């Protein structure tokens, strides 16, 4: 009855099935080296975001919208500045951790432009960074604190580290990649996610001209809301 419940389920794509240009930008399943020379396999499954409007309407958690992880400027590959956009499916897990982090901080958490997902073709993607996995966020403001001082960055880094061993932060400092001096960087490492709707039974080559995709199952809450009120049984 209301527009609020008309957000379609997110479409999950196997990036091996996308066109040549997108595959060359997203590099699904390819190995990528970090600054220490360790190799990490890039994500293969992405949410396809058809429009800015849908990105704005899609909440990953109560306080984080999909659009906050897809804000990029001209440093991103031109094709990924257009819609449809692609974001690794692990972004939802990141949003969950950010939601916990927000509670622990007791204030709103603001992600910078270019501070969410960055493709391997993004000009800031020098060596493997979890931003290329959709599992990192650069936060430039928390509540009214602009994160540009050693004190502010260390305070919130500590909150993140106390929250979970899954969360990694960059210490205050001025070495790009190793430090942060104008934001708090939070990441979950090189986490990839295989959506439950996806079948892994196929080889990695794109199959003929038949793109593979699935729509994410409805959120439990939406399912509950669509059930006729009257039954009290859980
Ligand atoms: Zn970062």
- The pLDDT of residue 126 is 86
Question: Contact at 8 Å (CB) between 160 and 113?
Answer: no
194 close to 200: Cβ distance less than 8 angstroms:
yes
| Ranges under pLDDT 70 in the chain | 1-8, 201-211, 220-234
Q: How far apart are CA 71 and CA 26, in angstroms?
A: 17
Q: Distance between alpha carbon 113 and the CA centroid of its chain, in Å?
A: 13
Helices (H), the chain: 20-26, 52-57, 91-105, 150-163, 220-226
Q: Which residue has the tokens 């899954």?
A: 166
Question: In b/e form, how buried is each residue of 41-61, taking b as 16+ CB within 10 angstroms?
Answer: ebbbbbbbbeeeebbebbebe
Residues bordering ligand 1, an ion, CB closer than 5 Å:
138, 185
- Please tell me the distance between residue 232's alpha carbon and the centre of ligand 1 in angstroms: 46
pLDDT of residue 231: 44
CA of 115 to the centre of ligand 1 (A): 6
What sign has the CA pseudo-torsion 77, 81, 85, 86?
Answer: positive
Instruction: Provide the terminal-to-terminal Cα distance of the chain, rounded to the nearest Å.
Output: 24
Predicted local confidence at residue 154, as pLDDT:
98
Q: Token match 């080296």: residue?
A: 33
> What is the reported pLDDT for 211?
66
Give the pLDDT score at 8.
65
Distance between CA atoms of 86 and 89, rounded to whole angstroms? Answer: 9
In the reported structure, the alpha carbon of residue 182 is separated from the centroid of ligand 1 by a whole-number distance in angstroms of: 10
Distance (Å) from CA 219 to ligand 1 centroid = 29
């Amino acid at each position: 009855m209301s527009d609020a419940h008309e957000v379609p389920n997110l479409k999950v794509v196997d990036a091996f099935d996308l066109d040549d240009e997108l595959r060359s930008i997203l590099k699904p399943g390819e190995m990528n080296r970090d600054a220490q020379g360790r190799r990490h396999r890039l994500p293969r499954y992405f949410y396809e975001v058809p429009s800015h409007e849908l990105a704005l309407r899609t909440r990953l958690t109560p306080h984080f919208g999909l659009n906050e992880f897809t804000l990029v400027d001209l440093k991103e590959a031109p094709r990924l500045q257009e819609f449809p956009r692609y974001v690794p499916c692990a972004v939802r897990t990141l949003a969950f951790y950010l939601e916990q982090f927000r509670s622990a901080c007791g204030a709103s958490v603001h992600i910078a432009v270019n501070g969410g997902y960055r493709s391997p073709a993004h000009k800031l993607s020098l060596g493997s960074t979890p931003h290329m996995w959709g599992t990192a966020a650069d936060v430039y403001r928390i509540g009214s604190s602009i994160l540009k001082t050693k004190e502010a960055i260390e305070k919130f880094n500590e909150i993140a580290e106390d929250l979970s061993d899954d969360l990694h932060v960059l210490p205050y400092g001025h070495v790009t990649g190793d430090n942060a001096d104008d934001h708090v960087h939070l990441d979950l490492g090189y986490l990839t996610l295989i959506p439950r709707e996806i079948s892994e039974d196929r080889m990695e080559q794109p199959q003929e001209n038949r793109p593979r995709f699935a729509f994410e199952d409805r959120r439990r809450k939406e399912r509950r809301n669509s059930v006729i009120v009257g039954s009290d049984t859980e």
